[in-house]
């Protein structure tokens, strides 16, 4: 009689399923067919979309998956205030304010940029959610300002906790490692997954999840700002933290290929390009799919270009993981 021995990846997946999450009401998001979009822009590949823009909580988006994991230990550990950061129209800041409100935590957001005279879109939602806002001049000023805010709150007898930009920590990345299991429950694995990336947490989670499920899926992250070496370093650092959370060695994901392309950024973060505008229009007019012109639309533009010029095989099934951001359309 032979005894079966569980693979380390199976043990890790069981550990992943046991980790507590904050109750933010996440259900499996749909996978829609984008064949009309593909036909309209001349693609031969089968194009699908995973609709994380349709997450119902707090106007959705990829940050909800990550915040479920990040906030749970803060609640049980006695924190009373979350401190985070972002731009004026940051989706992460809005999602963090929403998640904090839902679990009974105060939220303080360090914002780089000028305070708007009339808040709109995410800035308006932050206000409605009761977050306090502190404005700083540039992106490089955010982390020091968060640390100072935490110190002020501790001196006032509060119990603050800093959540980094994008909730891109090893714990946050578990949200997307788990999402790969959700994806597989909905059908066969795609040949290619395309997504927008910036702070690295979504990329790290998708790559770790594919590795744990032994998938040959190619994962392409289209950077919205930083160059590929910088993004890759961040993704790899997060994955090295994911392993120990799941009972694996820190180097468990070291051989995973990290593919990042920043050639669709254009003039800079938060600025649209002709290609992103074209992709945005095509998605809306062929499938009533809304992508924001400065982030997710750039990744969709990258997908279209890769499919057209053969960098993605014509026979491939390509899944565009829509990470949200549609609130920014109303800024």
- CB-CB contact of 323 with 61 (8 Å): yes
Phi/psi of residue 327, nearest 5 degrees: -60, -30
- CB-CB contact of 170 with 242 (8 Å): yes
Q: How many CA atoms lie within 13 A of 63 on its CB side?
A: 26
Dist. CA 43–CA 189, nearest whole Å: 20
Dist. CA 199–CA 87, nearest whole Å: 13
Pick from 52, 58, 59, 54: nearest CA to 23: 58
Active site annotation includes 90:
yes
Catalytic residue among 18, 35, 39, 90: 90
Pick from 82, 145, 60: nearest CA to 111: 145
Cβ-Cβ contacts under 8 Å for 81 (sequence gap 6 or more): 105, 106, 107, 108, 153, 158, 159, 160, 161
Dist. CA 84–CA 152, nearest whole Å: 15
Instruction: Please report, for residues 6, 37, 53, 191, the alpha-carbon distance to residue 188 in angstroms, rounded to integers and kept in the order given.
Output: 23, 21, 21, 9
Active site residues: 90
């Amino acid at each position: 009689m032979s005894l079966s021995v569980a693979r380390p990846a199976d043990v890790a997946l069981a550990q992943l399923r046991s980790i507590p999450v904050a109750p933010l009401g996440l259900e499996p998001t749909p996978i829609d067919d984008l064949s009309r979009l593909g036909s309209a822009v001349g693609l031969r590949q089968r194009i699908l979309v995973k609709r994380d823009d349709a997450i119902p909580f707090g106007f959705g988006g990829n940050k909800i998956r990550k915040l479920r994991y990040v906030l749970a230990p803060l609640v049980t550990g006695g924190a009373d205030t979350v401190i985070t950061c972002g731009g004026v129209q940051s989706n992460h800041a809005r999602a963090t304010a929403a998640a904090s409100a839902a679990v009974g935590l105060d939220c303080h957001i360090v914002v780089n940029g000028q305070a708007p005279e009339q808040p709109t879109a995410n800035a308006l939602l932050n206000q409605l959610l009761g977050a306090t806002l502190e404005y700083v001049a540039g992106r490089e000023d955010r982390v020091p300002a968060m640390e100072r805010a935490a110190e002020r709150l501790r001196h006032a007898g509060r119990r603050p906790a800093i959540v980094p930009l994008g909730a891109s920590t090893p714990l946050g990345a578990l949200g997307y490692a788990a999402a790969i299991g959700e994806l597989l429950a909905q059908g066969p694995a795609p040949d290619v997954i395309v997504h927008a990336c910036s702070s690295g947490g979504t990329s790290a989670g998708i790559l770790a999840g594919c590795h744990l499920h032994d998938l040959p899926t190619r994962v392409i992250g289209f950077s919205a700002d930083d160059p590929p070496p910088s993004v890759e370093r961040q993704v790899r650092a997060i994955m090295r933290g994911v392993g120990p959370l799941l009972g694996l060695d820190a180097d468990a994901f070291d051989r995973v290929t990290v593919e990042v392309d920043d050639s669709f950024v254009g003039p800079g973060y938060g600025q649209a390009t002709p290609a992103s505008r074209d992709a945005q229009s095509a998605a809306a007019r062929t499938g009533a799919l809304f992508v924001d012109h400065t982030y997710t639309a750039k990744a969709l533009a990258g997908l279209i270009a890769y499919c057209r010029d053969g960098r993605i095989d014509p026979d491939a099934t390509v899944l565009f993981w829509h990470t949200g951001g549609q609130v920014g359309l109303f800024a």
